[in-house]
Amino acid sequence: MNNVDIEKLIADFPLIKKMVKLKEVNWFNPNITSLQEGLPYVGLDNNDIQDASDRLARFAPYMVKAFPETAATKGIIESEVVEISAMKSQLEQQYEVEIKGKLLLKKDSHLPISGSIKARGGIYEVLAHAEQLAIKAGVLELSDDYSKLLTEEFKCFFSQYSIAVGSTGNLGMSIGIMSAKLGFSVSVHMSADARQWKKEKLRAHGVNVVEYSEDYSVAVEQGRQEAESDPKCFFIDDENSQTLFLGYAVAGERLKQQFDDMHIVVDSDNPLFVYLPCGVGGGPGGVAFGLKVAFGDDVHCVFAEPTHSPCMLLGILTGLHDAIAVQDIGIDNITAADGLAVGRASGFVGRAMERLLDGFYTITDQRMYDLLWLLNKVEGIQLEPSALAGMLGPIVVANNGEYLNRIAVNNEKLVNATHLVWATGGGMVPTVEMEKYLSKASCKLFID
Contacts with ligand PLP, 148-177, as mask; x by CB under 6 A: ----------------------x-------
Q: Out of 112, 247, 271, 282, point to the residue binding ligand PLP (CB under 6 A).
A: 282
Of 101 and 176, the one with the shorter C-beta distance to ligand PLP is: 176
Applying CB under 6 A, which of residues 112, 172, 252, 277 lies at the interface with ligand PLP?
277
Distance CA 108, CA 422 (A): 7
Q: How far is the CB of 266 from ligand PLP (least distance, A)?
A: 23
- 10 Å CB burial of residue 117 (0-12, 13-18, 19+) is buried
Asked if 398 contacts 81 with a C-beta cutoff of 8 angstroms, the reply is no
Residues in contact with ligand PLP, shown as a per-residue x/- string from 387 to 406 under the rule CB under 6 A = x-------------------
Q: What residues are paired with 26 via a beta bridge?
A: 361
Using CB under 6 A as the binding criterion, the count of chain residues that bind ligand PLP stands at 20
Site membership for ligand PLP, residue 118 (CB under 6 A): yes
Based on the shown chain and the rule CB under 6 A, indicate whether residue 183 belongs to the binding site for ligand PLP. no
User: Half-sphere exposure of 62 toward its Cβ, with a 13 Å CA cutoff?
Assistant: 22
209 binds ligand PLP (CB under 6 A): no
By CB under 6 A, residue 247 contacts ligand PLP: no
Site for ligand PLP in 330-369 (CB under 6 A): 339-340, 342
Q: Over the Cα atoms of the chain, what is R_g? A: 21
Are 164 and 225 a contacting pair, CB within 8 Å? Answer: no
Eight-class DSSP state of 261: H
Tell me how far, at minimum, the Cβ of 273 lies from ligand PLP, in Å: 18
- Our finding on whether 382 is near ligand PLP (CB under 6 A) is no
Most distant CA atoms of the chain, gap in Å: 64
Q: Determine the 3-state secondary structure of 263 from DSSP.
A: coil
Q: How far is CA 117 from CA 121, 193, 281, in A?
A: 8, 18, 12
319: Cα separation from own chain's centroid: 22
Cβ nearer to ligand PLP, comparing 339 with 394: 339
Name residues contacting ligand PLP, limited to 283-312 (CB under 6 A).
283-284
Q: Tell me which residues touch ligand PLP (CB under 6 A).
A: 116-118, 170, 277-284, 339-340, 342, 384, 386-387, 424-425
